[in-house]
Amino acid sequence: MRSIPEDRTTRALIRDEALGLFAAHGPDSVTVRRIAAAAGVSPGLVVHHFGSKDGLRQEVDQYVVAVFEAMLGELTGEGSAEAFDSDASAASLSAAFTRHLPAGSPLPGYLRRLLLSDTDAGRLLFRRLYEVSRTALDGLSAAGLAAPGRDPEARAAVLLANDLAVFLLRDRIGEVLGTDPLSADGMARWAPEVLGIYTGWLNAPPPPEAPAGT
């Protein structure tokens, strides 16, 4: 077992290993001993840092929420309306996340588990994502690329549910398309269809293909 100083680096290492295991197997199926083995530390050190597995799970939840909060700034920060005006696909949460997350990141998998969990972190993240969906719809409306509809709140919820389907049904979508929808190749197939439906509904013609190399 490698020796690691008991500092924030050790704490972050344990958290990151727990995140990967929780995403792959679910928090209830992962033991403190398994997390410790993955991090190369003793089970006692895990308890020392987090108090218990529940304490570690809460920290993982808070970390995931913080990561997505930072990424969501792309869709809600200053200049977001201009982004929508130049590229409506920027309104896609899944596209934004894919641009920021490295290949093989456990975050999408854990996002799925977190959103479907009955936890404060899951509710907080969904509320934040909904606010981003409202902002995206407002931006598209201001750019003349979408109409707010008779019920903007409901329309924003519909758009969010559609976007989150990529995360919640990632494995099943990959099976039928033969491509992970959150990979670069998968998003190249997925994003134009989403954009076409958002801007022209199901009767819209297919969007033109992007020039090679863009």
Burial 96-118 (b: 16+ CB within 10 A, else e): bbbeebeeebbbbbbbbbbbebe
Are 81 and 139 in contact by the 8 Å Cβ rule? The answer is: yes
Distance of CA 54 to the CA centre of its chain: 22
- Eight-state DSSP code of residue 209: P
pLDDT digits 0-9 by tens, 77-87: 554 444 444 44
Task: Give residue 201's pLDDT band: very low, low, confident or very high (50, 70, 90).
Answer: low
- Stronger pLDDT, 97 or 51, i.e. the higher one: 51
82 Cβ contact partners less than 8 Å away, ≥ 6 residues apart: none
